[in-house]
């Protein structure tokens, strides 16, 4: 896909002297991988905005996941952000369209996760009783035509956690070709997972930074076609 420095600058959702948050577009990897293609790494100097250092990623989003992506603008900020993410003090809310519907309107998915393969190049995950503890809260926001719109809040930060948890529950995320199979791909040609909101308790004694990313157009169009809308308190 075509992507430019101007596109990246236009995607900035929040910026101060320490923290930068962008609205990550679909199809852009955060780091170079075996598949090649455009990555954010190449554009980080364009996000300096006069700072002596280029920003560095505080966490990751999958290539096909859109929405809030956080950077530290200096090493001190990056260390603090890293500590917040490791301590699970960052509150993240994702929106996902899933195939099927949960049996309950809201609940907690508590399934440990481990890598499918010992190959360090593989990021595919599986539910494994011997894996790392992994918890995701979910809430149903609407249902139509065999699909459901969910708000997902990961309490842990495992690789592909939301995708594996949803698939394991019997309602894979639409467009998830890795964990959702033909059923998911029939619902959407691309993954419908969006990092809609992030809350960072970055500055002691001050309210958490609360940043929201608007729905990408394909996501919004599908909801409109299903005549589904977001509640007023949900991004």
Exposed / middle / buried, residue 91 (Cβ in 10 Å: 0-12, 13-18, 19+) = middle
Q: Do 201 and 211 touch, CB atoms closer than 8 A? A: no
**Dist CA 151 CA 215 (whole Å):** 13
**Dist CA 177 CA 200 (whole Å):** 31
16 annotated active-site: no
DSSP state of 132: B
**Dist CA 133 CA 115 (whole Å):** 13
Q: Do 124 and 115 touch, CB atoms closer than 8 A? A: yes
In 3D, which of 85, 166, 78 has the Cα closest to residue 178? 166
In 3D, which of 161, 154, 160, 202 has the Cα closest to residue 58? 202
**Dist CA 235 CA 224 (whole Å):** 15
* Catalytic one of 16, 62, 119, 132: 62
CA distances from 97 to 24, 72, 197 (A): 18, 30, 16
Which residues are annotated as catalytic? 62
């Amino acid at each position: 896909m075509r992507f430019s420095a101007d596109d990246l600058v236009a995607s900035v959702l929040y910026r101060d002297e320490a923290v930068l948050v962008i609205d990550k577009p679909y199809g852009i990897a955060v780091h170079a991988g075996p598949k090649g293609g455009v990555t954010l790494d190449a554009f980080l100097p364009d996000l300096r905005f006069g700072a002596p250092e280029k920003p560095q990623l505080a966490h990751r989003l999958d290539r096909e996941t859109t929405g809030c992506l956080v950077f530290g603008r200096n090493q001190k900020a990056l260390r603090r952000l890293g500590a917040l993410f490791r301590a699970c003090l960052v509150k993240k809310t994702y929106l996902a369209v899933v195939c099927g519907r949960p049996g309950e309107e809201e609940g907690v998915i508590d399934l440990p996760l481990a890598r499918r393969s010992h190959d360090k190049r593989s990021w595919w995950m599986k539910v494994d009783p011997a894996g790392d503890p992994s918890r995701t809260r979910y809430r149903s926001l609407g249902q139509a035509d065999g699909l459901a719109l969910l708000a997902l809040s990961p309490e842990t930060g495992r690789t592909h956690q939301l995708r594996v948890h949803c698939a394991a529950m019997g309602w894979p995320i639409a467009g998830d070709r890795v964990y959702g199979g033909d059923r998911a791909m029939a619902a959407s040609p691309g993954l419908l997972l969006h990092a809609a909101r992030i809350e960072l308790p970055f500055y002691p004694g001050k309210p958490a930074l609360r940043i929201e990313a608007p729905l990408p157009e394909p996501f919004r169009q599908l909801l409109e076609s299903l005549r589904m809308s977001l509640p007023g308190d949900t991004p």
